[in-house]
Amino acid sequence: MSMKALNQLVARSIIDPSVVNAFSYGDIGAVLSDLDFSSDMRVRLEHLEAGSWAEFATLAYRLVKAAEETVRHVQLPSPLEGLLPGDVRADEQVA
Amino acid sequence: MIPVTKDERQWLLRQLALGLVEYLGVTEPPVPVEQLLRNPPALYDDDFGVVDMFSNLWDATFARPPSQRGSIFVRMDLDKENRRYALARELLSALITSKHGRKMGLSELLLPDLRESAEYFASQLLAPEPLVDAYQAQGGDDAGFANAFMIPAWIAAERWLEAV
């Protein structure tokens, strides 16, 4: 959900000056709290150091993308494990 | 300025295009890009305009005369599809050089690859992902894509490949 929330935020920023103003005044946390970020992600985004809104958006994209890729990676089964609970590993069959 | 990859730049451009599409409230193609330029969000009142002119040199170009409203100067003899594409492409320059765009810091990220960025932005503005997805979900095919979105055939071919 974080990437969807970030997409919404950046899309909104091109027509809503309040987003960029909040960033400029160091108050982006107030805007982030209205969006569907986890509390951990919100804190990490609030602490990003960026020289401009566009730079913040890019750094936020890196952060959210990396977090979502980590989650996907964790959810993948290991190739060493059988796909079904009763499966026997190939190397055990050979032995 | 931080170094930015092509993927990151394109992601940013997609979101900016989507923001404008959402502002227009578009639910089906074609995206009315000229309407956006003639009736922009209030914060771009001093930045968006369209001026028709004769030219054999280029299809369209954005210019901001000193102390005047920025405008896209577009060849008046372009066909509808190429006119829409040229306006959408030059719209990025209008955004980047606007007061709000400068405040966002868009120029630092997008000016180094302006031509490529503008062409990508235009393809995303005229054929935004939600509308392309809906078109495909309703059984729309590549043969009717350019016509439905009112975009040049070569843009339609590129955009269709991206979306499949």
How is residue B161 written in tokens?
């490949």
Beta bridge pairs of residue B75? B53
In a domain, B164, yes or no: no
Residues 1-60 of A with CB under 8 A from B: 7, 10-15, 17, 20, 24, 50-55, 57-59
The pLDDT assigned to A79 comes to: 65
Q: To probe the interface with B, which of A15, A16, A23, A24 has the most B CB atoms within 10 Å?
A: A15
The pLDDT assigned to A73 comes to: 63
pLDDT class of A87 with cuts at 50, 70, 90: low
Supply the angle between the helices A39-46 and A53-75 in degrees, to the nearest 10.
Answer: 150
pLDDT class of B28 with cuts at 50, 70, 90: very high
Asked whether residue A76 carries a pLDDT value surpassing 70, the answer given is no
Mean pLDDT taken over chain A: 86
pLDDT, one tens digit per residue, over A7-28 is 999 999 999 999 999 999 999 9
Following DSSP, what letter does each residue of B39-90 receive, concatenated? S--GGGTTT--EEEE--SS-SEEEE--TTS--EEEEETT--HHHHHHHHHHH
Residues 6+ apart with CB under 8 A from B92: B13, B110, B114, B117, B118, B121, B122
Q: How far is A69 from A59, CA to CA, in rounded Å?
A: 15
Please state the ipTM of this predicted complex: 0.93
Contact B8 A11 (CB under 8 A): no
Residues 117-136 of B with CB under 8 A from A: none
How large is the average pLDDT for residues B14-41? 96
How many separate domains does chain B show?
1
In a domain, B163, yes or no: no
Q: To probe the interface with A, which of B104, B107, B121, B129 has the most A CB atoms within 10 Å?
A: B104
Among the ranges given (A89-93, B51-55, B57-61), the one the predictor scored with the smallest mean pLDDT: A89-93
The pLDDT assigned to B164 comes to: 79
Q: B109 — contact with chain A (CB < 8 Å)?
A: yes
pLDDT, one tens digit per residue, over B95-130 is 999 999 999 999 999 999 999 999 999 999 999 999
Q: How far is A86 from chain B (nearest CA, A)?
A: 38
Contact B12 A54 (CB under 8 A): yes
Asked whether residue A81 carries a pLDDT value surpassing 70, the answer given is no
pLDDT class of A83 with cuts at 50, 70, 90: low
In a domain, B75, yes or no: yes
pLDDT class of A93 with cuts at 50, 70, 90: low
Residue B100's CATH number: 1.10.10.2910
Contact B19 A12 (CB under 8 A): yes
**The pTM is what?**
0.88
In a domain, B112, yes or no: yes
In a domain, B162, yes or no: no
Asked whether residue B138 carries a pLDDT value surpassing 90, the answer given is yes
Residue B40 sits in which domain range? 6-126
Asked whether residue B55 carries a pLDDT value surpassing 90, the answer given is no
How large is the average pLDDT for residues B21-45? 95
The pLDDT assigned to A19 comes to: 97
Residues 6+ apart with CB under 8 A from B129: B14, B18, B163
In a domain, B68, yes or no: yes
How large is the average pLDDT for residues B54-75? 88
Asked whether residue A88 carries a pLDDT value surpassing 70, the answer given is no
In a domain, B1, yes or no: no
In a domain, B148, yes or no: no
Closest CA to B33 of B134, B162, B154, B150: B150
